[in-house]
Amino acid sequence: MHKEPPKALIEAVNAYKNYLERLSQRRVALISKHMQDGVSFKDPFYVQATLDQRKQLLQILCASSDNLKISISDILYSPTNEAKVYFKWHVQLHKDMPALEGMSELIFDHNHMIVAQDDYWDSASTIWAAHPLMRWLFKKGRKRIFGH
């Protein structure tokens, strides 16, 4: 029998989902409300990133889009680890570009704050990721955030 996740965790997950789906230039800094100090981020482009680096990347993402739309289509609570949650997401920068699809693994602490977020997607699997804008965005973002 599958155990229901704690109500406070469900509320924290829904709050973060709502934050992502309403992401805008002005709302980037609000990510701190969902994160524990020392949170770490990983994705195919960045092996390890801090909260400040994630904020910078989100600022670049928002500034580079004329129609940013992030949607979370599925949420899965781990049946074996109460602190682990998975998001399936779609990100679209422009109306005329296909969305990038991926998933995130989120780890929460006992206060239901995110302590780690690992994002997964196949950056070569879509035309969107191969688009010159995306190459420019990630090259610029990596240089600005990491200095190389």
pLDDT per residue, tens digit, the chain (148 aa), is 567 899 999 999 999 999 999 999 999 999 999 999 999 999 876 678 899 999 998 998 898 888 899 999 999 999 889 899 999 999 988 888 777 889 999 999 999 999 999 999 865 555 445 555 555 565 555 555 555 4
CB within 8 Å of 40: residues ≥ 6 apart: 48, 49, 50, 115, 116, 117
User: What is the CATH topology of the domain spanning 7-146?
Assistant: Nuclear Transport Factor 2; Chain: A, (3.10.450)
Q: What distance in Å separates the CA atoms of residue 103 and residue 85, rounded to the nearest whole number?
A: 10
Contact assessment for residue 57 and residue 141, using Cβ atoms and an 8 Å cutoff: yes
pTM of the model: 0.81
Q: What distance in Å separates the CA atoms of residue 135 and residue 60, rounded to the nearest whole number?
A: 13
Q: What is the model's pLDDT at position 39? A: 96
Q: What is the model's pLDDT at position 90? A: 92
Bridge partners of 119, per DSSP, are 104
SS3 87: strand
Tokens of 26: 């002005």
Residue 53's closest CA among 64, 41, 65?
41
Q: What is the model's pLDDT at position 4? A: 86
Q: What distance in Å separates the CA atoms of residue 106 and residue 86, rounded to the nearest whole number?
A: 6
Q: Please report, for the chain, the start and end positions of each structural domain, with discontinuous segments joined by +.
A: 7-146
Q: What is the model's pLDDT at position 142? A: 52
Q: What distance in Å separates the CA atoms of residue 12 and residue 39, rounded to the nearest whole number?
A: 15
